[in-house]
Structure 1
Amino acid sequence: MDRKFQSLKQAFSIEHNPVVRYLVERHAPVHEGLVTSPKVWQVICPRPDHWHVMAGPVVNQGQLVGAIGFTRERTRPSFDDQDLADLSAICLHLSAWVATVRPQRQAVAQQRLTPRELEIAELVATGRTNAAIGRELWITENSVKQALKRMFRKLQVTSRAELVTQLYVSKNDISGLTT
């Protein structure tokens, strides 16, 4: 595995990054000074433009559905309580927006897809490959690829992740996709 990718994967992991862990476990804004020392933070993320970090949650139905992050260089002041209060307000606003606007967009997106495309989308959401989806639905891998291309155009997305994001508000909504 590429060394850069491995260090990036480690920097964003719950096990190695106390900022990410705090955000995921508490669904609350945090900056690195609240959860670790500068010396430890430098080991976790040695980038000079990430000397100071702050992250906040976007929550929907009790689930973490996104995050907002800010970074500062070493020469800039660290984040403080006022920064966290401001970030908290932004996160609250975005969480409320997601709770109201997202279901409307999800319904519209689902209406644009055929029942078969919704079946494929549900399998994409579970992480299956095109070949595995084809085997499960008794269609060719190429048919899955073509269906995904049509779905991408209909929903104006460019990746499987965007497709799933547009169709689901939370993991709990997957079962309601094929009603």
Structure 2
Amino acid sequence: MPNSLYVVFQAIANVNNEQQLRLALMDQIREYFGVQHCGIYLIDEQLTEEMNVQGIPSVCMENNPVGRYVVERHAPAHEQLLLSPGDWKHFCSRQDHEHVMTGPIVCDGGLVGTLNLARDEGTDAFNADDLADFSALCLHLSAKLATLRAKKAKISNSQLVSPLTPRELEIAELVAQGLTNAQIGEKLWITQNSVKQALKRMFRKLGVSARSEMVAKLHLISVN
């Protein structure tokens, strides 16, 4: 069981994609906060049965004060921060949502999702310490999601503007460094003839006839 938020923060830093962010971290977050249910809900996605199993889609987000607070203020909240004890059950009667805490995941200045925790009936309510830790966790999740999406967008844009394959781009980078076909082949573990044939394809794709022209055109594409 993680005894420090640092362990959870490190786990967030080590994920490589959004799927890992949503699934791989749930056990550690669940254990740290002592909750029975935990899930990330991203606004730009359709809810699926799998998400219902994994956690708490939006923690009964419709028409409840906890959800409204998070949406309006982009700040985390739990039901006893906003309501008198027992009043939460007027909004949600589920026994596995006896206590809930929801926090924002933000990216590019907007709310893109929520992190949702819930405790079963008979468990302790969330307190001020839980809320402070949860706020820090939401900051780390938001920053990681922004990094993952920026990286994904950069890769997509590169593939969109350049007709070359990732392997061909590797060759082009080595050409730009001044390496010969033999040196490129040695670095990439391919034959010198393979490099030669690859360069012919690359020249055709880019409409150039020389190595220097290819490097110049790729540089122009990258800056635009």
Q: Which residue of 2 aligns with 1:22?
A: 69
| 2:134 paired with 1:87 | yes
Residue type matched to 1:92 in 2?
L
Q: Which runs of 5+ in 2 are unaligned?
A: 1-56, 162-223
Residue type matched to 1:106 in 2?
A
- TM-fit CA distance, 1:56: 0.8
| 2:81 paired with 1:34 | yes
Q: Which runs of 5+ in 1 are unaligned?
A: 1-7, 115-178
Deviation beyond 4 Å, 4+ runs, structure 1? 110-114
When the two structures are superposed, what TM-score results if normalisation uses the length of structure 1? 0.53
Instruction: Among all aligned residue pairs of Structure 1 and Structure 2, give the percentage whose two residues are the same amino acid.
Output: 47
SS of the counterpart of 1:75? coil
SS of the counterpart of 1:45? coil
Deviations 1:9-36 (A, max 9, x none): 9x322xx200000000011110000112
Give the alignment's Cα RMSD to 1 decimal.
Answer: 2.6
Q: Which residue of 2 aligns with 1:55?
A: 102
Residues 1:72 and 1:111: Cα distance change in structure 2 (over 3 Å): same
- TM-fit CA distance, 1:110: 5.1
Query: Take 1:79 and 1:28, find their aligned partners in 2: how far apart are those partners?
Result: 15
Query: Take 1:92 and 1:12, find their aligned partners in 2: how far apart are those partners?
Result: 20
Q: Which residue of 2 aligns with 1:44?
A: 91
Residue type matched to 2:136 in 1?
A
SS of the counterpart of 1:41? helix
Query: Take 1:102 and 1:52, find their aligned partners in 2: how far apart are those partners?
Result: 32
- TM-fit CA distance, 1:47: 0.5
Query: Take 2:159 and 2:102, find their aligned partners in 1: how far apart are those partners?
Result: 35
Residue type matched to 2:154 in 1?
A
